[in-house]
Amino acid sequence: MSATGARRQDRAAFTLIEVLLVLVILVIIGSIAVTNIIGAKAKADRNAAKVQVDTISKECDRFALDMGSYPNSLEMLFTNPGGAKASEWAGPYLDKEIPLDPWNNPYQIQFPGGRHPDRVDIFSWGPDGQAGTQDDIYND
């Protein structure tokens, strides 16, 4: 057998360094992909909460048109409050129960609103689940 034939047999397998280099490259690519997926999920959760907050806010506006005042609780969108204005209630104002926000917390209502003194504030506490922080999501 010639010297080149012996070299070809020695080169038939990958070295440990080559295998480790490929693994490092795969780990780097995987971590970049996971980071992008997590960022997209966080953005999607914020967008979903914003859409839900705005939908609830619009139904509160409809309630106010019918009843002359904004609701004090989100349950008033589903239950006739009774009393003198019971006949003016045109609900339920939403087709189904209000879901929890994407972080499994209930949506909040405040009337008069802190951000909208003449309207209702509907908001989510955001990813941290705490009131009054920068990640809170409010209606427009």
- The per-residue pLDDT string of the chain (140 residues; one tens digit each, 9 = 90 and over) reads 555 555 555 566 788 888 888 888 888 888 888 877 878 888 999 999 999 999 999 999 999 999 999 998 999 999 888 887 888 999 899 988 899 999 999 999 999 888 988 999 999 999 999 988 999 999 98
User: Which among 77, 72, 82 is positioned nearest to 92, based on CA atoms?
Assistant: 77
Task: State how beta strands 121-124 and 137-138 pair.
Answer: antiparallel
Question: Across the beta sheet with 121-124, what order do the strands follow?
Answer: 108-110, 121-124, 137-138
